[in-house]
Each structure stands twice: as C-alpha cells, then as structure tokens.
Amino acid sequence: MTARRDIEAITERIRERSKAGREAYLGRIAEASSRTANRAVLGCGNLAHGFAVCSPSEKIALGGDRVPNLGIITSYNDMLSAHQPFETFPALIKEAAREAGGIAQVAGGVPAMCDGVTQGQPGMELSLFSRDVIAMAAAIGLSHNMFDAAVFLGVCDKIVPGLVIAALTFGHLPAVFIPAGPMTTGLANDEKAKVRQLYAEGKVGRPELLEAESKSYHGPGTCTFYGTANSNQMLMEIMGLHTPGASFVNPGTPLRDALTREAAKRALAITALGNAYTPVGRMIDERSIVNGVVGLHTTGGSTNHTIHLIAMAAAAGIALTWQDISDLSEAVPLLARVYPNGLADVNHFHAAGGLGFLVRELLDEGLLHEDVQTVWGEGLRPYAVEAKLGDDGGVVREAAPLQSGDEKVLAPVRKAFQATGGLKVLGGNLGHAVIKTSAVKPERRVIEAPAKVFDSQRALNDAFKAGTLTGDFIAVIRFQGPKANGMPELHKLTTVLGILQDRGQRVALVTDGRMSGASGKVPAAIHVTPEAVEDGPIARIHDGDVIRLDADAGTLEVLVPGTEFALRRTADADLIGNEFGLGRELFAGFRQLVGRADHGAAAFGNA
C-alpha cells in the first residue's frame, strides 16, 4: 500500500507542476480539432496535389471528406535489421484500411540510424540528435493536413522517442504505434560478450569476433538484448500506444502481419469521424507517463529513457524530472532479468509470460494506473493478455498466464529480484547523474577510488592497451555531453572496464556521455549534468582525486575540500575533431541549441 500511495503522490506532484503547460497544450489540441484537421480546410489545388496518385474512387472519397485517411510515417530502410521488416507494412496497412472503409497513404519517411553500427565511430555523435531530426521529419510528413489519424512504424533507439514527440505535437490526431518485433534468438548475449573480452585481450582475432557478432545479430528484427530498442517497445505497450500484446512478436510471422492489419483498422476506428475519437495528446497524460517510468524500472530498462521520457512528456505539456524518475524507482520492484541484467533475451522474456504477465502483476499490486485511456479503449487491464493467431488468421487474445514460465527471467511481485527499480539518480558535488543498478552486483554499488581522467573513450582504450590502468580507479570520461559532441554512447568502454573488474580491480565510470541501454556489470554514473563544456564540476576533476560513487545512498562526490575544488580552473578540451566529418558539421546548430540531459537534451524549445 505504501508503494501505491507513493506512486499516486508522485503522479499528483507531476500533475501540479505541469498544470499551466498541460492546459496550454490541451488548448492547442482543442483548437486544432475544431479546425477539422483534414481535407475540408484545403483548397482544391491543395487537395488535388494530395491525392493525385490515388484511384478515382479514392479521390471521390477524399474529396468528400467522408472517409478517414490514415497517414503512415515509416522508418523503413533495408540496411538495418530492426527496420527492414517495415518494407511490407505499408501494403498491409493500405489493404487493411480499404477493408475498414478507409484509405491509407505513406505520409513520409524518417531516418533510422543504428547505434550498433556507429558504436565507437564518429557517426555516433549524430545519434542523440537524430531523435529531434526524426520528430521534425515526421512533422513535415503530417504537415500536409491530409490525415484523420496516423500510424508510426518505428522500433529502435532514437526513432520511437522522436516519433512520440511528433505524434504528441500533432496531438489532435489519433496515433497508433506499430512495431516490427525482435529477431529470433541467436548466439547467447553472454557468449558474445565473452568473445568481445577475449578479442580485447588479444586472445582471439577479428575473424572469431566477427563470427560471434554475426551469430548474435543474424536476421530481421531488433537486437535481442534488453537495450533501448526493446525498452521502447515495452514503453509503447505499457503507455497504451500499441495494441495489446504487440511488442515482442517476431517479424515475418503470420501473427506479426495480423497485428499490423489490426493496428491499422484500430487507428481508423478512433478518428473524429467515428464515435471513439481518441486524440493522442489527450490520451497520453501524467498517468500514462508514470506508467512508462514504472515499466522502465520494473524491467531494468534503458538509461537512455531518463532523457527521452522527459522530452516525450514535454511534448505533451508535462514536466517530468529526474527526481520523479528516481523517486518512482524506490516504489517499484525489479521483476525482469533480461540481458544485460540476466542471461535471458527478450524472446525468453516473452515466452515466460512477457508484458501481459508483467502488466497484470503490477495492476494487481496497484503499481500502475489502471484508469488510463489507450488506443484500445478505456483502462490498462486489457493489456494483461497474450496475443495469438486465430483460426481465421486474425488476432485473438487470452488472459496472461497466472504463473511465470520462468521465474529466473520474469518474477511475480512476491518474488521480485529486488525491492526497487533498475535505475537510480545520483546527486552530489559533481552534479547529477544516472546509474543502472539492475545489472550491478550489490557489493559493487559503492566504490571509493582515485580518478583517472580522460577526454575521450579512445584515450581510455589506449591506456588499457598500454597497460597503465592498474589498481582500483574510477574512470572519468568528460567532454562527452550533448553540447560538446552530441552525447555519444560510450558502450565500447564496457568491455575494457569489464575485463579489469574481472581481474579483481574495483572500477567504475563517471561521464557526461551516455552508456546505452546495454549498460552492464560495471557501475557507471552517466549523463553527468552540468556537462564539462558548460563548466560543470566534472571538468575540475584531477587525476588522483578520490571519488565516491554510492548507488545505494544515491550520491556522487569528489572528496576534495569544497573551497579548493570551487577555485580550480575548469579544463579545456580541443573539440575541433568533433566538428567535421560524417555529417557532424551539419549539426553545429544542434550542439549550440541543445538543452541539458536532465531537461531532455532537446534542440527545440519544448524540453
């Protein structure tokens, strides 16, 4: 009961803080809805351009403004495994729309980059900014004002948050998100990690490493570990933007296609032309956002969402803070163990009962707001189900299993893996930071050790190769924040620091960069704010300064006398190498405009 009261209190706190912004946002939605945000407001020349390639019957229907038109925003490309399945989705959606008496058009495409391809490469410095580009690209597609609802085809890291920001910006339209699903299970994630460590130690060569990576990432769909991509899918379902049970069905299966057709028909059913009008901006409210945060904590989800959820909420006029996220972590138990928080992958999680089981457990304990609106209708209880293929080729749903299929992967609340959630916010004289605790053993959550300071992950990796990373230490990687170089993920540090930890050294990481949804067994205080380039305290740390990282107490301190530390000159960094190459020069304006990580790191004004 205490946890339930805490969640209610935090929700009310967010509601009160957001009151003015939320009222203004809802006013804009009401105004847009009153203008009938579709073809009636378009001139004949405008409309002729909008349906020039449609069939004669479709032109008649769209011209009369009596038939709902569904806009498709897609992140399809055929290089990336997670997005390749979307190639066939528009045809399925258009066919389903015709069956439902509507029309569907591809409104626009958005870029979709892969952090897995760009890890440790210059292109990673565009990754976080791609979220805002995606939001703006989707807005361009919807700006034609031809649509009564929209479906969004997106899966991975920055794509889904960018699409959510766009959907909420067009909050007067109903919006349904359609996933592609995870790839089938390949080489176990822990086996892949072992080969990475052996390669870093020079014990195997590049051919062996490439073979292991290729056996892990081997086909269509998202990567199977529980990083940002699969955290996105959990969020969309628990926030009611997916149809029930849609998140973790593999691509290329009859059930996946049936779910896609169903989602298209549902989007057409909730337009203003029918009796179940569900504009996404009214549907997503403070309770929905809190449900998303609860889902993130209970599954040990991606640290990236401590940034994205704030930006997504801001797009709906809701002021979410790191403190809200941290306080919710204290009220929510950890119920999932999916790599890197365990050995299972998302397919094992889904087979054990998946989100349907998880939603029911949380609802029964009062840890989720049940009284929300979703694309499926009223209340979250209909999401406590498992989607299956019916005899007629459509989707049928059964109640989620009462027992977990594997309690080592998915636990009931009474057998939670830990009493609190998987993420925590740290505070102290170095500012604020985020740490993912769910994969870190309890005995490693407190470390006090001297700092070794670097201005790039390459510099740390060079020190590892040189054999100078001896003894216990806390690695400080600074000038990696959004204003400095776009806040790249520093995931390549995971292998090096993991090797040192396995050798018996006590190590940790402190950085103003990101560490990705795959943050692992080494304690890492990431997203340090203010960042070094904004004269944050992290820029005043010297080699040898003792730092104390206490994930249990929620503190991050440099143990230097306050007056001495305050009088130190902040370090300078040569960032010229981050300004050009692979498109980075085009994002100079983003680096100037971007907000702080704890404010959502957005390059436009609403966050």
Structure confidence by residue, pLDDT tens digits, 271-299: 999 899 999 999 999 999 999 999 999 99
Q: Is the pLDDT of residue 195 over 70?
A: yes
Give me the residues paired with residue 396 across strands. Answer: 388
Q: What CA–CA distance (Å, rounded) separates 147 from 97? A: 13
pLDDT value, residue 36: 55
Q: Is 376 helix (H, G, I), strand (E, B) or coil?
A: coil
**Average pLDDT in the 220-233 region?**
94
pLDDT value, residue 33: 86
Mean pLDDT of the chain: 93
**Average pLDDT in the 91-120 region?**
95
Q: How confident is the model at residue 519 (pLDDT cuts 50, 70, 90)?
A: low
* Angle (nearest 5°) at CA 167 between 162 and 169: 95
Give me the residues paired with residue 474 across strands. Answer: 451, 508
Structure confidence by residue, pLDDT tens digits, 48-103: 787 888 888 777 777 766 789 999 999 999 999 999 999 999 999 999 999 999 99
Q: Is the pLDDT of residue 191 over 60?
A: yes
Q: What CA–CA distance (Å, rounded) separates 308 from 602? A: 9
Is 156 among the annotated ligand-binding positions? yes
Within 80-179, strands assigned E span 103-109, 149-153, 175-178
Structure confidence by residue, pLDDT tens digits, 303-361: 999 999 999 999 999 999 999 999 999 999 999 999 888 889 999 999 999 999 999 99
Instruction: Specify whether the CB–CB gap between 458 and 540 falls below 8 A.
Output: no
Q: What CA–CA distance (Å, rounded) separates 262 from 375? A: 12
Is 114 among the annotated ligand-binding positions? no
